[in-house]
């Protein structure tokens, strides 16, 4: 059986991605990452667990979680995440203006689609909930 990942995943990024500022460790607003992915034809996978994001490959994770529904996995395709978030909260995009979601880029690789086409992808780590909490000051009753 042929591996769905063609380019081994790693922290080395092609020059065209580096020119966009997409390198390991870069922190990029989720909306900007989405726009870059659409404009430059690469997929983005968001990870919710740091160890998994940094210590495994997308290929391994897709294999391990193949029987788990997409939204129940510890990682998700960015487009699916944004679609789900907007369905759950119609004001989600507006909330991103108040509290941006900044994704830490962790790796780059390529996937072979079912049609046989190679598609580059970027893995990113979602911020932890404690990083998202806003301090409530001046709200004493």
What confidence tens digit (pLDDT) does each residue in 42-78 have? 999 999 999 999 999 998 999 999 999 998 999 999 9
Q: Which residues pair with 77 in a beta bridge?
A: 45
The residue written with tokens 């009753």 in the block is 141
Looking at the predicted structure, is the pLDDT value of residue 133 above 50? no
d(CA 117, CA 69): 24
Q: Is 109 helix (H, G, I), strand (E, B) or coil?
A: strand
Residue 138 per-residue DSSP state: S
Question: Could you tell me which residues are beta bridge partners of residue 47?
Answer: 75, 125
The 8-class DSSP code of residue 53 comes to H
Residue the block writes with tokens 């108040």: 98
Q: What pLDDT score was predicted for residue 137?
A: 34
pTM: 0.84
């Amino acid at each position: 059986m042929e591996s769905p990942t063609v380019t081994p995943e790693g922290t080395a990024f092609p020059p065209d991605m580096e020119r966009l500022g997409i390198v390991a460790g870069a922190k990029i607003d989720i909306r900007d990452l989405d726009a870059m992915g659409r404009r430059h034809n690469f997929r983005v996978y968001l990870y919710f667990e740091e160890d998994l994001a940094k210590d495994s490959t997308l290929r391994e994770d897709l294999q391990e979680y193949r029987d788990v529904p997409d939204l129940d996995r510890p990682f998700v395709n960015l487009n699916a995440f944004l679609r789900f978030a907007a369905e759950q909260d119609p004001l989600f995009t507006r909330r991103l203006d108040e509290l941006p979601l900044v994704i830490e880029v962790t790796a780059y690789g390529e996937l072979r689609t079912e049609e046989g086409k190679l598609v580059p992808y970027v893995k990113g780590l979602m911020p932890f909930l404690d990083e998202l909490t806003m301090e409530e000051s001046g709200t004493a009753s």
